[in-house]
Structures are given as C-alpha cells and as structure tokens.
Amino acid sequence: MPDEQAKAFVRRQIDELWNRGNLDFAVECFTEDFVGHDPAIPEGVHGPEGFKQNVATTRTAFPDFRVEIVDQVAEGDRVVTRYVTTGTQQGEVEGLPPTGRRVAVAGMGIDYFREGKICESWEYYDVMGTMQQLGMIVVPGPLLLARTLVHQARKLRTRSLGRDR
C-alpha cells in the first residue's frame, strides 16, 4: 500500500471507529490475528472484536471522545500517527465513578500493515497524565517536591557523615 494511501487508511480508521463510534468498520481495518499493544491494557487488544470492545469501553466512559491527528509519517508497512485525544468522563473508568472532568491526552501510535489491513499496533500515551486529570492520582506540586528532595538530601548527608567517622 503506498504511503499516502496507508496514512489515509489510518485517518479513516480513527475517524470511523474512535470519532464516530462506527464499530462495524473494525472488520474492514484489522486482520483476524491483529494484536494491539496498549499501556492501559496489559493483556493487549486482539482481533477486530477486541478492538471494537476497546472503542466501546472508551466511548461509554467518554461519550464525546475525539481524536485529533497532529502529524503522520508513513514508510513501508507502517504508519506513525501523533494525536491528541479529548473527552469528558461521563461513565466509569477503572472503578472511578463519573467525574464530569474533561481530559486531553497526547499520544502516538504505530500501525503495521499486512495485505491492506492493520495487523499490529503500538500505542504510547500519557496514562499517568490521564489519571491525574481524572483525579485518580495526585502529583506533588513544586513546593512539596522541593521539601521532599531537601529532606532526602539531609538524610543521605547524615548517613554519609556517620560512615566517614
């Protein structure tokens, strides 16, 4: 598949599945032995049915979920897509009840093609940032971080001075 055609295929897959929720389109996009590597899904996503389930779960939690493509590069059998996703949490996520919070997450995906369909993908996105935006984790601010580092430095200094004697 020529590079421009492969990029257009990925753009259409993103628009139909993620932005429109057209789950039936997955059969046209993915091989039966498709494997999707996703940092939030340790067991991976398998086949068109697994991809449909992943999209359905995401769109249930974030009904207004959108993917905006920022950049794409294609070469040979792969397409790399840099994107930003947005959505408002209106359904449960990993046991977290709906918060009504809007999130924006940057990411990148690498899609590999075989016989005109995607056979494997690798997704990289800011899982920790997503959790922070949803209030699932708290990241210390600069003041707390500085105090913690000073405290640790003092402990290390005290230990090293004790050993020098």
Structure tokens at 68: 């905006």
Q: CA-to-CA distance for 62 and 102, rounded, in angstroms? A: 9
- Which CATH class for the 3-139 domain? alpha beta
Q: What are the angstrom distances between the C-alpha of 75 and each of 1, 110, 163?
A: 10, 11, 57
**The pLDDT value given to residue 165:** 53
Residue range 98-138, pLDDT digits in tens:
999 999 999 999 999 999 999 999 999 998 888 889 988 77
**The pLDDT value given to residue 147:** 77
**The pLDDT value given to residue 161:** 74
